[in-house]
Structure 1
């Protein structure tokens, strides 16, 4: 089967290690990801702002990029769910509507693909730290990704999973919401970080780098020593493939394009 990586803008431009962790972790379990280089933004920012015509242009690029893929896997619940809006965008265009339905049916968030498609809940990871989990809104509420990440975390040796109070409360990012309603967004993420501190966790883990970036920024602003990781990074590092297992604050950042080889 041909499995393609839908990297998303944030992971590609700011957090490429998330994509690299996905590629290497899945390769260790027999899945070789390919990376269509023509892929670009899924169109979510313009869609949420009401610019649907511009969104169709972006969506057409994505639809053609993954037309020949058997499965498409993404590290972002929000970008994965954006694909579910494509049939609405092309409801009056039979050709693009067919491609939209096909892409929607074969696109999975990372943990969905591991658990639902591959049937894997134990990747053999060992991560001896206290961890709390933030369920992002799009992934948990719209995609219904709730049990998959917990199942994966529960099989990590040495990991102590601490429940996050009011876990399903939004972190306040919301894409353009964080810009248009910055005061409200700031209050929401501050409350989220208060709850993270209550857990006394060493690591915050999640499935969407947009939310994790927002939370990590607030943690850094407060000087809190909580490491923020995408679940793919935790599983990959805990699997012994990573060169270091030490805890450090914040999240590594560098600008480069992830290439799945």
Structure 2
């Protein structure tokens, strides 16, 4: 019964997760890419030197929209929150950044909303919002019970991306209105294991997840969010506001400090 309760609690904690940003990149079939590249090489050999060179295709270079463009630095933001078994300090006001953990061994699903925001002027980037996301996180797991317990800790930033171009548009798959913004997360820290009675373990996480497909790109707006080619181009011509929140869940956690810093770049 205890294992079933744990599984149900874990499932409930995951249902609130936002759509994850698909920042992976899937290359076209290798035979198609090689054929396109060889055709371009042959065309270059036979072409008139004075002729205008055609722009490379996605089959040739993977990302044709940003090919050959210079990188532009677009600013950064940082969000901080922390978890404790008791956020109350006598004689002091409650710190809004403190999230109080449920008594072990219960799960705690948490959200620290709207921790930081930036607004990019229109035309800051042409086709891509790239991210360098770096967590600096420490978490302590403790088992003060008389039996082994399963611990879990998950934390990830959620980015709300607002643009007037999204007004009046809806998710093409669910039909849910965007109401001027899309919200997506970038997976980050997800650890679990077993901790024995009387044990206390501390883990620290510091690493960087860098842009591959991008947090948002012209092609993802078209393929995943249902924008037209014209709307996707307008998206990058208008101001864009990015707001960071942090979500996650914890079990058998005694305390945690959670900081995510993200720098953005574009083309």
TM superposition score normalised by structure 2: 0.21
TM superposition score normalised by structure 1: 0.22
Per chain length, whose mean CA-contact separation is higher, i.e. which structure has more relative contact order (CA < 8 Å, sep 6+)?
Answer: 2
Structure whose alpha-carbon radius of gyration is higher: 2
